[in-house]
């Protein structure tokens, strides 16, 4: 998986996301300067590992869906494009397996879920107050009441609520799975940074070991099975 983006920051450094060993360059001959005269810094991020296959236990797994609502998702082509069909497919599989589904969004959009992935009778819907959906909510309490130990995180966006909830989840000893086709962001840069942060956060899983306990794994909808 190779994502290449070059971004100029106002603080006067350059970030290049690509494959290879991390290196830094500053003040090198022939390097461009920023508008304020400071030398540019070039960083190369290691290549992201490929998604891996996982087999999950329905009795101890829950699907979490974030912000698949109007206007958050409907204003983002990547959300209504590949993300939405992938999530529809995953939800069909999840519901067939009897996996509980939890929905989180801000109170003002609580009734604006996209019809393709709207809550069904028996699903849990809760108001969120931060990017980490555990913050100031009863999510942890509700999950533990159902005996949940593994979370599938989906929705908008991978560099926002999905990243920060993965941190909150692993800090609470949950094992996390993120299907990369069910979460995205506005730019390739945000997607790459989100995935990198997910794998290198608390209890890191930089090689993307399948279902590393109390860590996060990157998978894909066609690579997830329930047994």
What are 110's two structure tokens? 């609580």
SS (H, E, C) 63-119: EEEECCECCCCCCCHHHHHHHHHHHHHHHHHHHHHCCCEEEEECHHHCCCECHHHCC
| pLDDT tops 60 at residue 11 | no
pLDDT of 48-64, one tens digit each? 999 999 999 999 999 99
User: 114 Cβ partners below 8 Å, 6+ apart?
Assistant: 68, 69, 70, 73, 74, 84
pLDDT of residue 62: 98
Residue 23: the pLDDT is: 36
Q: What angle do CA 66, 68, 70 make, to 5 degrees?
A: 135
Span 109-130, pLDDT tens digits:
999 999 999 999 999 999 999 9
Q: What is the pLDDT of residues 130-184, one digit of tens each?
A: 999 999 999 999 999 999 999 999 999 999 999 999 999 999 999 999 999 999 9
Domain map (residue ranges) of the chain: 5-43, 54-226
Looking at residue 21, what is its pLDDT?
Answer: 36
Mean predicted lDDT score pLDDT of the chain? 88
Of 191 and 28, more confident: 191
Instruction: Name the architecture of domain 54-226.
Output: 3-Layer(aba) Sandwich (3.40)
Sign of CA dihedral 213, 217, 223, 224: positive
């Amino acid at each position: 998986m190779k994502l290449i983006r070059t971004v100029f920051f106002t603080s006067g450094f350059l970030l290049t996301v690509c494959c290879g060993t991390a290196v830094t360059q500053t003040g090198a001959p022939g390097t461009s300067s920023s508008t304020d005269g400071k030398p540019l810094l070039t960083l190369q991020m290691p290549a992201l590992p490929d998604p891996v296959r996982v087999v999950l236990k329905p009795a101890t797994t829950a699907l979490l869906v974030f912000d698949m609502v109007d206007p958050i998702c409907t204003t983002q082509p990547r959300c209504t494009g590949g993300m939405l069909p992938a999530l529809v497919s995953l939800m069909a599989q999840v519901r067939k397996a009897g996996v509980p589904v939890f929905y989180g969004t801000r109170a003002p959009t609580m009734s604006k879920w996209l019809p393709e992935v709207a809550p069904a009778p028996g699903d849990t819907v809760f108001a969120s107050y931060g990017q980490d959906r555990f913050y100031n909510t009863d999510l942890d309490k509700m999950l533990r009441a159902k005996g949940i130990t593994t979370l599938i995180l989906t929705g908008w966006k991978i560099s926002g609520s999905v990243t920060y909830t993965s941190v909150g989840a692993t800090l609470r000893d949950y094992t996390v799975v993120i299907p990369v086709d069910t979460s995205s962001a506005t730019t390739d840069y945000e997607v790459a940074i989100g995935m990198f942060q997910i794998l290198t956060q608390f209890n890191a899983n930089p090689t993307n070991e399948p279902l590393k306990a109390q860590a996060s794994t990157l998978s894909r909808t066609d690579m997830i099975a329930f047994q």
